[in-house]
Chain A
């Protein structure tokens, strides 16, 4: 399984332009965006909020089509949603009317790709792998946030997709759970070695997880810079103090800071000097 997974899942963006239409106005989200998601690696997209990271995921998953440009997977244009490209969303997208187990076996059942016995054994194996053994009969609303994410991972993994798309999946979890989930996820990745694309706005998370790190600009978005994160695998949080880590973090912070300034200038938000304003009020009161 590990060998075949690394053969597939390469995604290439060629000069992609996407639009969002709201009534009469159009907003350009991605513009002349070109990038490559290499097979067998964990690529991380980092960028400011609202810069179109979710759009990238939607394009690869097949939920959206680009206005111009091409999105190719393994050389062929992406035609629509498919089990080869599965997404783990930010907020729970488990089917709330199905139990955990039923959610996990949903795709094989619907596609008819496995026999009942295969499905059952594989599902149980995955549930145990993600640490949800004993929770098969629970409904998603009965699970905690972290458990829901893990169930979603199991639901996706049972299909052995060619590329796993993670759209800020650990956002909204508390710090402890988040750290555990990151380690968890890395273990899964290192076991399957399939192509993964992970989107996040947390720099530390990005560096910790990534093989390749792509920094995005503001709208209209393109890739600002690509990094090779050559920290050794398997990763460990102790690496957070290594010099290479700190280098990367400093550089990325600066890039994002640049973008943040550009964004606030562009949106014309008033630059309020709070301290000066406070002083003025105090003077007026006297």
Chain B
């Protein structure tokens, strides 16, 4: 399997074969990394190091997991948690993004609203659990509310930053070209803040998933977080880990989905990074 060669501007260069791109030392180390994590886990439990014997082994988790995922209850759980998280996070987007845009845009509005946002921001979503129970007797809403609070502040802060970091020259250019403030808002502020807004939304989604576990510990009969708590009380320990992995995975997938969706809306961001690559090779 002789390495391919190709000609670049008259220089013969050896091209790495497709096989060597997959089977190389770098990937080997990465695989070792992941495998040794599981191996370490299995060994610690097997040899009952400290109190690891109480935890489920990777094998247990896998078998329980496969069985569980095939059951109806699992998909009901996923649906419930999904609905709560996405419901809470999307509501947060619907309120935080317009609010953030207005705060960044208009000083009067900012003075009337931002202080309260700043005061409430340090209070973690978890602390709202009692409040949620107080005024939202309906279980779904209370978890969704915790997700909402968790996602709200990152989104609004990022939106405000997004507006504030728009280069002032754009406003001057628009004024020269004869725009009125409304046009400037819709055509400069909103698109200009979009990169930060999308970052905030992805962040908020991640935090929303985290918050869902907290929310589901208080309420309901369904949901991945709830299942984790239940598995603990019912001494079905492997399911705890199954639930943890599922939440982690779905959280990642949701954040990635948001980033993908917003990439299509913010195409110029990609163009900027592409030309950056070019300029790096030129130098």
Give A residues with C-beta under 8 Å from B.
17, 19-20, 22, 26-28, 31, 49-50, 54, 67-68, 219-220
Contacts and interface: CB of A to CB of B under 8 A. Distances in A.
28 contacts: A17-B11, A19-B8, A19-B11, A19-B13, A20-B281, A22-B277, A22-B281, A26-B8, A26-B13, A27-B8, A27-B281, A28-B8, A28-B9, A28-B10, A28-B11, A31-B9, A31-B10, A31-B11, A49-B282, A50-B282, A50-B283, A54-B283, A67-B11, A68-B11, A219-B9, A220-B9, A220-B10, A220-B11
Contacts of A27: 8, 281
A133 B105 CA distance: 47
Given A26-B8, A49-B282, A68-B11, 17 more contacts: A19-B8, A19-B11, A19-B13, A20-B281, A22-B277, A28-B8, A28-B9, A28-B10, A28-B11, A31-B9, A50-B282, A50-B283, A54-B283, A67-B11, A219-B9, A220-B9, A220-B11
Contacts of B281: 20, 22, 27
Nearest to B13: A26
Contacts of B282: 49-50
Nearest to A51: B282
Contacts of A54: 283
Contacts of A26: 8, 13
A49 B283 CA distance: 8
Return the 10 tightest CB-CB contacts between A and B, nearest first.
A50-B282, A28-B9, A220-B9, A20-B281, A26-B8, A28-B11, A28-B8, A54-B283, A22-B281, A26-B13
Interface string B1-35: 00000001111010000000000000000000000
Nearest to A22: B281
A26 B11 CA distance: 10
Contacts of A20: 281
Contacts of B11: 17, 19, 28, 31, 67-68, 220
A220 B277 CA distance: 19
B119 to A, nearest CB: 34
Nearest to B278: A22
A105 to B, nearest CB: 30
A18 to B, nearest CB: 10
Interface string B103-135: 000000000000000000000000000000000
